[in-house]
Every structure is written in structure tokens, then in C-alpha cells.
Chain A
Amino acid sequence: MNFAVENWASFVNDARPCFPIHWEELALDKDKFKMVLYESRYEFAEKEGCLHVVTARDNGRIVGYYVGAILPHLHYAEAGNMASTDMYFLLPEYRTGTNGFKFVDFIEQSLRERGAVKIYISCKVHRDLQRFWEALGYTFSDKMFVKVLA
């Protein structure tokens, strides 16, 4: 696998085959929430300089990605830019050995190079990666709850 920071355009079309797999594995309330990317908003975020996309490719094919926003935290305005994770995914057949660790290591380094001082990332309860993230030095800091209102 090769890792790279990419722009939105080079990422999104190549990643489309992964999206249904990602959604199927991780989405909740699938009858109500389909994975449809708000592409103009991502493009806007990129133009504003706050979108961060990292890909994992195998022979040119995207097999994993990380998408985040690098922004000042709304209530830690003076702390420096922080990486807020929008989504991340690695195809199941690539979750072997040390691939995941190497991917995260690259993501972290690329965020540091863009000046991010902290990263926020979560995982689904039904795909609990707490052990993975804690092994990489992350702190279990929040419990997040969701409710469908409509």
C-alpha cells in the first residue's frame, strides 16, 4: 500500500467503489440515512484550506481513506488548529498485520505537517476500535450518543 495526501478531486472518484462497503459496515439507521456526499461542501472546505484527505492505494486503486477538517476548535480558539475526523475507512482485506498502524502513522504525520495540534476521532460501538486507538496512544475521552429525531 502507498499512502498520500490528495486533493478532493483525485480522491472522490477513485474512492466511490469503497463508499457502499463503508456505509454497509458502519452506518446506523440505514433506512433513513444513505451515504450521499455533499460534494460541493467538501470542495468548498478544500478551497478554504481546511480539508485534509489521505489515501491508501494498492497499485493505484484506493483501498482506504481518511477525511478530516483542520480548523480552530470553537471553544479552544487559541490552542491551534485541530483535526476533526469526518470519515476513515480501510477495506477489510487490507486490515491485516501492520497496515492499519502504518496508515494512522502517515495520517498523523501529515496532519502535523499541516499544523494540527490534536486529532479527534471516533469509532462505532458495533465496530469497536477502542483497543486499536488506545494502543496507538489515543485517550478514550468521550462517549457520544445519537438519536433520530425525524
Chain B
Amino acid sequence: MKTRLIQLIERETGIQTDLNTSIESLDIDSLEFICLVQAIRAELGPIELKKATGALTVGELMLSIGAS
């Protein structure tokens, strides 16, 4: 999961990341964030936008995947 999420984020944003990378440093706007969440939902599993917006890091974003 960790590897696939990092690969997805790097593909969607063009930015090299790890689990400690802050969401803010991805330098994406709200619409791009929506696209990212939709890509995660399509490829990695269910994720709620509301939970995703609470994530401060890529690691926290990963924890949002699949959580109900």
C-alpha cells in the first residue's frame, strides 16, 4: 500500500514523496486534491474526502484509505 500510494502521488503531482511528506508541500490546489483522492479511490481503495482533508502527511493520508 505504501509503495503504491507514493507511486500514485508522484504520478499525479510530479513530486517525490515519502510518508512524512506534508500534504501542503505537494503544492496542489483543491481541485487537484480532489483528483488525487479520486485516483486513490479508484486504485487503492475507499477513501472519504472529509477524512483525507484531515491528513497532514502522506502517511496520514494512507491511514484514511479503507477507514470507515
Contact = CB atoms under 8 A, between A and B. Distances in A.
A37 to B, nearest CB: 26
A132 B50 contact: no
A95 B49 contact: no
A101 B28 contact: no
Interface of B: 23-24, 26-31, 33-34, 37, 49-50, 52-55
Contact of B49 (A96, A97, A101): A101
A86 interface: no
Given A95-B30, A96-B29, 19 more contacts: A96-B28, A96-B30, A97-B23, A97-B24, A97-B26, A98-B23, A98-B30, A98-B55, A99-B30, A100-B30, A101-B49, A101-B50, A102-B53, A105-B53, A129-B31, A131-B31, A131-B34, A132-B30, A132-B31
18 contacts: A96-B27, A96-B29, A97-B23, A97-B24, A97-B29, A98-B30, A98-B33, A98-B52, A98-B53, A98-B55, A99-B30, A100-B29, A100-B30, A101-B49, A132-B31, A132-B34, A135-B37, A136-B49
